[in-house]
Amino acid sequence: MTTRNWYLKTLSMSVLLASLSICSAFAAESSTKVWRFGLEEIEGSVQDIYAQAFKRKVEDKSKGEVLVDIYSYGMLGESEDLTNLTANGTLQLTHASVGILGAYIPEMQVFTIPYLYSNNDAHTKDVLATNPTIYEIVGNALIDKDLRLMTLYLEGDMVWSTNKPIRKPTDFNEFSMRVMNSSLVIKTFELLGATPVPMPYSQVYGALQARIVSGQTNPVFSIEEMKFYEVTEYLIWAGQQKFTTSVLANQAWYLSLSPAHKRMLNETIEELTPYIFEQQTALNSAQLAAIKKSKPSMGIIKLTKREQAAFKAASAPVRLQYIENTGPTGQRLLDALEVALAPSK
Ligand code: 6CS
Protein backbone atom coordinates (compact mmCIF):
# COMPACT_ATOMS: atom_id res chain seq x y z
CA MET A 1 0.00 0.00 0.00
CA THR A 2 1.36 3.49 -0.86
CA THR A 3 1.78 6.05 1.94
CA ARG A 4 -1.09 8.07 0.45
CA ASN A 5 -3.41 5.05 0.33
CA TRP A 6 -2.39 4.10 3.85
CA TYR A 7 -3.12 7.65 5.02
CA LEU A 8 -6.54 7.67 3.29
CA LYS A 9 -7.42 4.25 4.68
CA THR A 10 -6.40 5.27 8.21
CA LEU A 11 -8.31 8.55 7.86
CA SER A 12 -11.50 6.86 6.64
CA MET A 13 -11.25 4.25 9.41
CA SER A 14 -10.84 7.02 12.01
CA VAL A 15 -13.90 8.87 10.63
CA LEU A 16 -15.92 5.65 10.70
CA LEU A 17 -14.78 4.81 14.25
CA ALA A 18 -15.62 8.35 15.43
CA SER A 19 -19.09 8.09 13.90
CA LEU A 20 -19.55 4.68 15.58
CA SER A 21 -18.95 6.36 18.98
CA ILE A 22 -21.47 9.12 18.19
CA CYS A 23 -24.03 6.47 17.13
CA SER A 24 -23.39 4.64 20.42
CA ALA A 25 -24.19 7.77 22.38
CA PHE A 26 -27.51 8.17 20.49
CA ALA A 27 -28.34 4.46 20.79
CA ALA A 28 -27.74 4.60 24.54
CA GLU A 29 -30.31 7.40 24.82
CA SER A 30 -32.97 5.72 22.66
CA SER A 31 -34.63 2.37 23.38
CA THR A 32 -33.30 0.86 20.13
CA LYS A 33 -30.14 -1.17 20.57
CA VAL A 34 -27.60 -1.42 17.75
CA TRP A 35 -25.51 -4.60 17.55
CA ARG A 36 -22.48 -4.10 15.30
CA PHE A 37 -21.20 -7.22 13.58
CA GLY A 38 -17.79 -7.30 11.79
CA LEU A 39 -16.89 -9.57 8.86
CA GLU A 40 -13.47 -10.68 7.64
CA GLU A 41 -14.96 -11.28 4.21
CA ILE A 42 -16.68 -9.27 1.47
CA GLU A 43 -20.38 -9.10 0.54
CA GLY A 44 -21.71 -12.40 -0.83
CA SER A 45 -19.22 -14.46 1.22
CA VAL A 46 -20.06 -17.22 3.72
CA GLN A 47 -19.60 -14.80 6.64
CA ASP A 48 -21.87 -12.27 4.91
CA ILE A 49 -24.57 -14.92 4.37
CA TYR A 50 -24.29 -15.77 8.08
CA ALA A 51 -24.49 -12.15 9.23
CA GLN A 52 -27.40 -11.27 6.91
CA ALA A 53 -29.43 -14.23 8.27
CA PHE A 54 -28.44 -13.25 11.83
CA LYS A 55 -29.65 -9.68 11.15
CA ARG A 56 -32.98 -10.84 9.67
CA LYS A 57 -33.67 -13.15 12.60
CA VAL A 58 -32.63 -10.76 15.39
CA GLU A 59 -34.47 -7.75 13.96
CA ASP A 60 -37.56 -9.86 13.38
CA LYS A 61 -37.52 -11.58 16.80
CA SER A 62 -36.86 -8.34 18.68
CA LYS A 63 -39.61 -6.56 16.71
CA GLY A 64 -37.30 -3.65 15.95
CA GLU A 65 -35.86 -3.33 19.48
CA VAL A 66 -32.48 -4.44 18.13
CA LEU A 67 -30.89 -3.33 14.84
CA VAL A 68 -27.90 -5.25 13.49
CA ASP A 69 -25.33 -3.24 11.50
CA ILE A 70 -22.96 -5.32 9.39
CA TYR A 71 -19.41 -4.12 8.63
CA SER A 72 -17.98 -6.16 5.78
CA TYR A 73 -14.26 -6.70 5.02
CA GLY A 74 -12.36 -3.51 4.32
CA MET A 75 -14.66 -1.14 6.23
CA LEU A 76 -12.86 -1.52 9.57
CA GLY A 77 -9.51 -3.05 8.69
CA GLU A 78 -8.04 -6.55 8.80
CA SER A 79 -9.17 -9.53 10.89
CA GLU A 80 -6.92 -8.57 13.81
CA ASP A 81 -8.51 -5.07 13.85
CA LEU A 82 -12.00 -6.59 14.07
CA THR A 83 -10.99 -8.78 17.02
CA ASN A 84 -9.46 -5.78 18.81
CA LEU A 85 -12.53 -3.62 18.11
CA THR A 86 -14.74 -6.37 19.57
CA ALA A 87 -12.51 -6.80 22.63
CA ASN A 88 -12.70 -3.05 23.31
CA GLY A 89 -16.48 -2.95 22.79
CA THR A 90 -16.62 -0.84 19.59
CA LEU A 91 -18.11 -3.87 17.83
CA GLN A 92 -20.43 -6.21 19.72
CA LEU A 93 -19.81 -9.21 17.45
CA THR A 94 -17.26 -10.32 14.90
CA HIS A 95 -16.09 -13.25 12.84
CA ALA A 96 -12.53 -14.37 13.59
CA SER A 97 -11.05 -17.22 11.58
CA VAL A 98 -9.01 -19.65 13.65
CA GLY A 99 -5.89 -19.27 11.49
CA ILE A 100 -5.58 -15.62 12.40
CA LEU A 101 -7.00 -15.76 15.93
CA GLY A 102 -4.42 -18.45 16.78
CA ALA A 103 -1.76 -15.72 16.98
CA TYR A 104 -3.81 -14.24 19.86
CA ILE A 105 -5.21 -17.41 21.49
CA PRO A 106 -2.70 -20.29 21.04
CA GLU A 107 -5.30 -22.98 21.96
CA MET A 108 -7.34 -21.84 18.93
CA GLN A 109 -4.59 -23.18 16.66
CA VAL A 110 -5.80 -26.72 17.34
CA PHE A 111 -8.34 -26.20 14.54
CA THR A 112 -5.52 -25.61 12.04
CA ILE A 113 -3.78 -28.93 12.73
CA PRO A 114 -3.55 -30.75 9.37
CA TYR A 115 -5.69 -33.84 8.85
CA LEU A 116 -7.42 -33.41 12.24
CA TYR A 117 -10.96 -33.42 10.81
CA SER A 118 -12.54 -36.46 9.18
CA ASN A 119 -14.48 -36.16 5.92
CA ASN A 120 -17.74 -36.31 7.82
CA ASP A 121 -18.37 -32.56 7.69
CA ALA A 122 -21.88 -32.87 9.13
CA HIS A 123 -20.42 -34.49 12.24
CA THR A 124 -17.58 -31.93 12.45
CA LYS A 125 -20.20 -29.16 12.29
CA ASP A 126 -21.90 -30.57 15.41
CA VAL A 127 -18.62 -31.01 17.29
CA LEU A 128 -17.55 -27.42 16.52
CA ALA A 129 -20.90 -26.02 17.65
CA THR A 130 -21.33 -28.02 20.86
CA ASN A 131 -18.24 -29.81 22.19
CA PRO A 132 -17.99 -28.82 25.89
CA THR A 133 -14.17 -29.08 26.04
CA ILE A 134 -13.86 -26.51 23.23
CA TYR A 135 -16.19 -24.06 24.95
CA GLU A 136 -14.42 -24.56 28.28
CA ILE A 137 -10.78 -24.28 27.14
CA VAL A 138 -10.99 -21.92 24.16
CA GLY A 139 -13.92 -20.10 25.79
CA ASN A 140 -11.92 -19.35 28.95
CA ALA A 141 -8.84 -18.25 26.98
CA LEU A 142 -11.05 -15.80 25.07
CA ILE A 143 -12.73 -14.48 28.24
CA ASP A 144 -9.25 -13.52 29.47
CA LYS A 145 -9.12 -11.23 26.39
CA ASP A 146 -12.64 -9.76 27.02
CA LEU A 147 -14.16 -11.93 24.29
CA ARG A 148 -16.85 -14.63 24.32
CA LEU A 149 -16.87 -17.64 22.00
CA MET A 150 -20.40 -17.79 20.54
CA THR A 151 -19.82 -20.54 17.97
CA LEU A 152 -17.42 -22.14 15.50
CA TYR A 153 -18.36 -23.28 12.00
CA LEU A 154 -16.92 -24.61 8.73
CA GLU A 155 -16.56 -22.50 5.58
CA GLY A 156 -15.33 -25.25 3.24
CA ASP A 157 -12.28 -27.32 2.24
CA MET A 158 -9.00 -25.43 2.23
CA VAL A 159 -7.97 -25.70 -1.43
CA TRP A 160 -4.46 -24.85 -2.65
CA SER A 161 -4.60 -22.49 -5.62
CA THR A 162 -1.17 -22.58 -7.22
CA ASN A 163 0.83 -21.78 -10.33
CA LYS A 164 2.00 -25.41 -10.72
CA PRO A 165 0.70 -28.91 -9.89
CA ILE A 166 1.60 -30.15 -6.40
CA ARG A 167 1.21 -33.89 -5.84
CA LYS A 168 4.00 -34.71 -3.40
CA PRO A 169 5.95 -32.80 -0.72
CA THR A 170 9.03 -32.36 -2.97
CA ASP A 171 6.84 -30.41 -5.44
CA PHE A 172 6.84 -27.70 -2.77
CA ASN A 173 10.61 -27.15 -3.13
CA GLU A 174 11.29 -23.48 -3.78
CA PHE A 175 7.57 -22.79 -3.64
CA SER A 176 6.28 -19.79 -1.65
CA MET A 177 2.80 -20.23 -0.22
CA ARG A 178 0.79 -17.36 1.22
CA VAL A 179 -0.67 -18.37 4.59
CA MET A 180 -2.63 -16.73 7.39
CA ASN A 181 -0.42 -15.29 10.11
CA SER A 182 -0.40 -18.22 12.55
CA SER A 183 2.80 -19.83 13.85
CA LEU A 184 1.26 -23.30 13.53
CA VAL A 185 0.12 -22.78 9.93
CA ILE A 186 3.58 -21.43 9.10
CA LYS A 187 5.17 -24.51 10.71
CA THR A 188 2.76 -26.80 8.80
CA PHE A 189 3.81 -25.45 5.41
CA GLU A 190 7.48 -25.59 6.37
CA LEU A 191 7.02 -29.28 7.23
CA LEU A 192 5.16 -29.82 3.96
CA GLY A 193 8.25 -28.51 2.16
CA ALA A 194 7.05 -25.05 1.10
CA THR A 195 8.21 -21.55 2.07
CA PRO A 196 5.25 -20.04 3.93
CA VAL A 197 4.69 -16.29 3.52
CA PRO A 198 2.18 -14.77 5.98
CA MET A 199 0.34 -11.71 4.69
CA PRO A 200 -3.09 -10.06 5.06
CA TYR A 201 -6.00 -11.28 2.94
CA SER A 202 -6.19 -7.97 1.07
CA GLN A 203 -2.66 -8.38 -0.31
CA VAL A 204 -2.96 -11.93 -1.65
CA TYR A 205 -4.23 -11.13 -5.17
CA GLY A 206 -1.45 -8.61 -5.80
CA ALA A 207 1.21 -10.94 -4.40
CA LEU A 208 0.06 -13.79 -6.68
CA GLN A 209 -0.13 -11.47 -9.67
CA ALA A 210 3.37 -10.09 -9.04
CA ARG A 211 4.64 -13.66 -8.44
CA ILE A 212 5.81 -12.73 -4.95
CA VAL A 213 4.07 -15.95 -3.91
CA SER A 214 3.36 -19.03 -6.02
CA GLY A 215 0.15 -20.11 -4.31
CA GLN A 216 -2.29 -19.62 -1.48
CA THR A 217 -4.88 -21.68 0.36
CA ASN A 218 -8.55 -20.86 0.99
CA PRO A 219 -12.06 -22.26 0.38
CA VAL A 220 -13.36 -22.22 -3.21
CA PHE A 221 -15.92 -19.46 -2.56
CA SER A 222 -13.06 -17.18 -1.48
CA ILE A 223 -10.88 -18.16 -4.46
CA GLU A 224 -13.77 -17.09 -6.69
CA GLU A 225 -14.86 -13.88 -4.94
CA MET A 226 -11.30 -12.61 -4.30
CA LYS A 227 -10.43 -13.60 -7.91
CA PHE A 228 -7.38 -15.65 -6.84
CA TYR A 229 -8.22 -18.08 -9.66
CA GLU A 230 -7.38 -15.36 -12.21
CA VAL A 231 -3.76 -15.34 -11.02
CA THR A 232 -3.22 -19.08 -10.38
CA GLU A 233 -3.51 -22.13 -12.67
CA TYR A 234 -4.46 -25.09 -10.43
CA LEU A 235 -6.96 -25.89 -7.70
CA ILE A 236 -5.67 -28.72 -5.50
CA TRP A 237 -7.66 -30.63 -2.89
CA ALA A 238 -5.13 -32.17 -0.47
CA GLY A 239 -7.61 -32.90 2.34
CA GLN A 240 -5.25 -31.08 4.70
CA GLN A 241 -7.71 -28.76 6.40
CA LYS A 242 -11.16 -27.21 6.44
CA PHE A 243 -11.54 -23.47 6.89
CA THR A 244 -12.94 -22.89 10.38
CA THR A 245 -14.21 -19.60 11.69
CA SER A 246 -15.51 -18.38 15.02
CA VAL A 247 -18.18 -15.87 15.98
CA LEU A 248 -17.03 -13.79 18.95
CA ALA A 249 -18.87 -11.30 21.15
CA ASN A 250 -17.60 -8.68 23.55
CA GLN A 251 -17.80 -10.46 26.92
CA ALA A 252 -18.92 -7.47 29.03
CA TRP A 253 -21.59 -6.60 26.46
CA TYR A 254 -22.83 -10.20 26.40
CA LEU A 255 -23.07 -10.27 30.21
CA SER A 256 -24.93 -6.94 30.21
CA LEU A 257 -27.70 -8.17 27.89
CA SER A 258 -31.19 -8.59 29.33
CA PRO A 259 -32.21 -12.24 29.87
CA ALA A 260 -34.60 -11.97 26.89
CA HIS A 261 -31.92 -10.59 24.55
CA LYS A 262 -29.37 -13.13 25.75
CA ARG A 263 -31.85 -15.93 25.05
CA MET A 264 -32.61 -14.48 21.61
CA LEU A 265 -28.91 -14.23 20.76
CA ASN A 266 -28.10 -17.78 21.91
CA GLU A 267 -31.13 -19.21 20.15
CA THR A 268 -30.29 -17.39 16.89
CA ILE A 269 -26.69 -18.66 16.95
CA GLU A 270 -28.00 -22.20 17.48
CA GLU A 271 -30.50 -21.89 14.61
CA LEU A 272 -27.78 -20.70 12.25
CA THR A 273 -25.61 -23.82 12.69
CA PRO A 274 -27.49 -26.05 10.21
CA TYR A 275 -28.35 -23.06 7.99
CA ILE A 276 -24.76 -21.89 7.40
CA PHE A 277 -23.60 -25.47 6.89
CA GLU A 278 -26.02 -25.90 3.98
CA GLN A 279 -25.30 -22.41 2.63
CA GLN A 280 -21.50 -22.80 2.60
CA THR A 281 -21.77 -26.20 0.90
CA ALA A 282 -24.01 -24.74 -1.80
CA LEU A 283 -21.89 -21.59 -2.24
CA ASN A 284 -18.63 -23.55 -2.58
CA SER A 285 -20.07 -25.79 -5.29
CA ALA A 286 -21.69 -22.88 -7.14
CA GLN A 287 -18.40 -20.95 -7.08
CA LEU A 288 -16.46 -23.96 -8.33
CA ALA A 289 -18.83 -24.11 -11.30
CA ALA A 290 -18.34 -20.36 -11.81
CA ILE A 291 -14.53 -20.71 -11.84
CA LYS A 292 -14.67 -23.61 -14.32
CA LYS A 293 -16.95 -21.55 -16.56
CA SER A 294 -14.87 -18.39 -16.56
CA LYS A 295 -11.51 -20.19 -16.73
CA PRO A 296 -11.89 -23.59 -18.46
CA SER A 297 -8.09 -24.06 -18.44
CA MET A 298 -7.98 -24.18 -14.61
CA GLY A 299 -6.36 -27.50 -13.58
CA ILE A 300 -8.46 -29.41 -11.03
CA ILE A 301 -6.45 -31.87 -8.94
CA LYS A 302 -7.83 -34.11 -6.19
CA LEU A 303 -5.01 -35.92 -4.41
CA THR A 304 -5.51 -39.67 -3.93
CA LYS A 305 -5.52 -41.17 -0.42
CA ARG A 306 -1.95 -42.35 -1.04
CA GLU A 307 -0.81 -38.87 -2.15
CA GLN A 308 -2.53 -37.31 0.87
CA ALA A 309 -0.76 -39.80 3.17
CA ALA A 310 2.66 -38.35 2.19
CA PHE A 311 1.54 -34.82 3.18
CA LYS A 312 -0.07 -36.17 6.34
CA ALA A 313 3.16 -37.90 7.41
CA ALA A 314 5.30 -34.85 6.55
CA SER A 315 3.11 -32.50 8.60
CA ALA A 316 2.55 -34.83 11.62
CA PRO A 317 5.24 -33.16 13.86
CA VAL A 318 3.14 -30.00 13.95
CA ARG A 319 1.13 -31.63 16.76
CA LEU A 320 4.24 -31.55 18.98
CA GLN A 321 4.67 -27.89 18.17
CA TYR A 322 1.05 -27.24 19.20
CA ILE A 323 1.58 -29.03 22.53
CA GLU A 324 4.81 -27.06 23.10
CA ASN A 325 2.85 -23.83 22.52
CA THR A 326 -0.13 -24.70 24.71
CA GLY A 327 1.00 -27.22 27.38
CA PRO A 328 -1.32 -29.67 29.21
CA THR A 329 -4.45 -27.58 28.49
CA GLY A 330 -3.77 -27.72 24.77
CA GLN A 331 -3.08 -31.46 25.03
CA ARG A 332 -6.43 -32.01 26.78
CA LEU A 333 -8.23 -30.09 24.01
CA LEU A 334 -6.44 -32.01 21.25
CA ASP A 335 -7.21 -35.36 22.94
CA ALA A 336 -10.88 -34.45 23.34
CA LEU A 337 -11.15 -33.35 19.70
CA GLU A 338 -9.45 -36.50 18.40
CA VAL A 339 -12.02 -38.60 20.23
CA ALA A 340 -14.96 -36.41 19.23
CA LEU A 341 -13.91 -36.06 15.57
CA ALA A 342 -12.94 -39.72 15.00
CA PRO A 343 -13.76 -40.74 11.38
CA SER A 344 -16.07 -43.55 12.48
CA LYS A 345 -18.46 -41.09 14.08
O1 6CS B 1 -7.15 -16.06 4.03
C2 6CS B 1 -7.61 -15.25 4.83
O3 6CS B 1 -6.89 -14.48 5.46
C4 6CS B 1 -9.12 -15.13 4.97
N5 6CS B 1 -9.82 -16.17 4.29
C6 6CS B 1 -11.11 -16.27 4.40
C7 6CS B 1 -11.89 -17.20 3.56
N8 6CS B 1 -11.79 -15.56 5.32
C9 6CS B 1 -11.18 -14.60 6.22
C10 6CS B 1 -9.66 -14.75 6.29
O11 6CS B 1 -9.07 -13.61 6.78
CA of 32 to the centre of ligand 1 (A): 32
Asked if the model's pLDDT at residue 134 lies above 90, the reply is yes
pLDDT per residue as tens digits for the range 150-177: 999 999 999 999 999 999 999 999 999 9
| Whole-angstrom distance, CA of residue 291 vs CA of residue 285 | 10
Ligand 1 site, residue 48, Cβ cutoff 6 A: no
Ligand 1 site, residue 229, Cβ cutoff 6 A: no
Which of 43, 199, 201 gets mutated to test ligand 1 (max ligand atoms within 8 A of its CB)?
201
Atom of ligand 1 nearest to the CA of 204: 1
CA of 76 to the centre of ligand 1 (A): 15
Q: Which residues contact 71 (CB under 8 A, 6 or more apart)?
A: 36, 37, 38, 39, 82, 91
CA of 263 to the centre of ligand 1 (A): 30
pLDDT per residue as tens digits for the range 69-89: 999 999 999 999 999 999 999
Ligand 1 site, residue 40, Cβ cutoff 6 A: yes
pTM recorded for the entire structure: 0.93
CA of 70 to the centre of ligand 1 (A): 17
Q: Across residues 233-260, what is the average pLDDT? A: 97
Q: What is the pLDDT of residue 103?
A: 85
Q: Across residues 226-234, what is the average pLDDT? A: 98
CA of 9 to the centre of ligand 1 (A): 20
Q: Which residues contact 38 (CB under 8 A, 6 or more apart)?
A: 71, 76, 82, 85, 86, 91, 93, 94, 95
Asked if the model's pLDDT at residue 23 lies above 60, the reply is no
CA of 53 to the centre of ligand 1 (A): 20
Ligand 1 site, residue 96, Cβ cutoff 6 A: no
The pLDDT-based confidence of 194 (bands split at 50, 70, 90) is: very high
Ligand 1 site, residue 79, Cβ cutoff 6 A: yes
Strand 299-302 to 234-250 pairing? parallel
Percent of the chain having pLDDT more than 90?
87
pLDDT per residue as tens digits for the range 201-220: 999 999 999 999 999 999 99
Find how far residue 269's CA is from the centre of its chain.
17
CA of 30 to the centre of ligand 1 (A): 36
Q: Which residues contact 104 (CB under 8 A, 6 or more apart)?
A: 80, 83, 145
Ligand 1 site, residue 251, Cβ cutoff 6 A: no
Q: Across residues 133-156, what is the average pLDDT? A: 98
